[in-house]
Amino acid sequence: MPVYFAPGRVNLIGEHTDYNGGFVFPCALDFGTRLTVTPNSDRLLRFRSKNLADTVELPTDRSFQPLPNRSWVNYPLGCIAQLAEKAGGLPSGYDLLFEGNVPIGAGLSSSASIEVVTAYAFNDMLGLGLDRTQLARIAQQAEHTYAGVNCGIMDQFVSANGKKDHAIFLNCDTLEFDYVPLCLDDVSIVLTNSHSPHKLDAGTYNRRVQECEEAVRIISRSKPIRQLADLTISDFKEIQDTITDPVILRRARHVVTEIQRTRDAVRALKDNDLSAFGQLMNQSHQSLRDDYEVTGLELDTLAETAWQVPGVIGSRMTGGGFGGCTVSLVRNDAIDEFKQTVGNTYRQTTGLQAEFYMAHTGDGVRKITE
């Protein structure tokens, strides 16, 4: 029975830049989703998850449609539908057993790991020969058409292409990328799960995507651009007065400055200047809080408390926002103090219990058993 695995991810910097053609800097984690596939003669796709109770069965001889009620099955189904079409149909039914250890709703891309592991497995079993980038695109398309989230390419790309001990500096316009070694010495990447009840829903995410498109339309009246990533910060300063809507102005300013921060952060890491990297992480959070408005009390409390703890190099929200996690770079000898201070302040301020994970990087999607 073949078994496959695809990782979740944490983004170190470059948030809400991917669907604007900008840079991101994520790494794949060592936790993710494992998929065991067994062909069956029932001509059924049978979806089961060790994490959830329900089993969903769908006939393979009818065309696939998204399932109602935001079923988790839409993530794998959206991938299988595209690959089955490329293969001219499925040769048999399949029993699919998913088992994930990415905390769900933590903004660490559990859904991308489900999509990517499914796309990779069916590409392998159907002998389609698609490369990792093509599979990431298929997984992103599944998220658009089956889950209704008009996401960028970051999560699926890093789940497909991740590399242990490295982050990926990805140009989301051209999909050219570099693996950058994460030489952190006596520093660790700590994830703090807010367990916030405020989740980033598809509607709010898609609204941000639309606001950026609106910014491109307005700016293009005086300076034609394809996407916000076409502007440098000085270009933006020249045209910013043409954006009279203050909300659209703030959204565009976040994207343009975040793209520059991401370039600067990668430069700082390559120069071994972790302290500059940390400052850029903090500025990224401030921009997501003030201009992009996707943080909220929970994530702000986590990041702002972390900034006060000696030994914290940088801290920011990661992923789409509202709920989910912060990512912090913390000196190893300050981790206990960090957990205690952040955990206590967070409980006092929000009444919620934060959860901490040490982030270990991992490789991209792969087959683990023949």
Active site residues: 155
Please give the Cα distance from 313 to 127 (Å, whole number).
46
Sign of CA dihedral 313, 314, 315, 318: negative
Choices 12-20, 32-40, 82-90, 130-138 (CB under 6 A): range interacting with ligand GLA:
12-20
Distance CA 234, CA 226 (A): 17
Question: Could you tell me the smallest distance in angstroms from the CB atom of residue 253 to ligand GLA?
Answer: 16
Beta-carbon contacts of residue 116 (< 8 Å; ≥ 6 apart): 6, 135, 136, 139, 156, 159, 160, 365
Task: Name the residue nearer to ligand GLA (CB basis): 45 or 102.
Answer: 102
Return the number of the residue (253 or 331) whose C-beta is nearest ligand GLA. 253
For residue 310, the minimal CB distance to ligand GLA (Å) is 29
Q: Map the footprint of ligand GLA across residues 309-328, applying CB under 6 A.
A: 319-320
Backbone angles phi, psi at 17, to 5 degrees: -105, -20
Which CB sits closer to ligand GLA, 37 or 255? Answer: 255
Token pair listed for 55: 């089993």
Number of chain positions touching ligand GLA (CB under 6 A): 10
Contact 338, 306 (CB under 8 A): yes
CB of 319 to ligand GLA, least distance (A): 5
Of 131-160, which residues contact ligand GLA (CB under 6 A)? 151-152, 154-155
The rounded distance, in Å, linking the Cα atoms of 360 and 199 is: 25
**Which residues in 245-274 contact ligand GLA (CB under 6 A)?**
none
Per-residue string for binding with ligand GLA, 15-54, x by CB under 6 A? Answer: xx-xx-----------------------------------
- Using the rule CB under 6 A, give the single segment among 13-21, 82-90, 95-103, 355-363 that binds ligand GLA: 13-21
Nearer to ligand GLA (CB atom), residue 155 or residue 304: 155
Question: Contact, 78 vs 106, CB < 8 A?
Answer: no
Nearest to 17 by CA among 241, 287, 330: 287
Q: How far is the CB of 87 from ligand GLA (least distance, A)?
A: 27
Using CA of residue 101, residue 118, residue 140, residue 132, what is the dihedral sign? positive
Give residues 149-208 in contact with ligand GLA (rule: CB under 6 A).
151-152, 154-155
Q: What's the CA gap between 166 and 10, in Å, rounded?
A: 12
Q: Which is nearer to ligand GLA, 205 or 338 (CB)?
A: 205
Distance of CA 314 to the CA centre of its chain: 19
Q: Write down the least CB distance from residue 111 to ligand GLA, Å.
A: 8
Residues that bind ligand GLA (CB under 6 A): 15-16, 18-19, 151-152, 154-155, 319-320
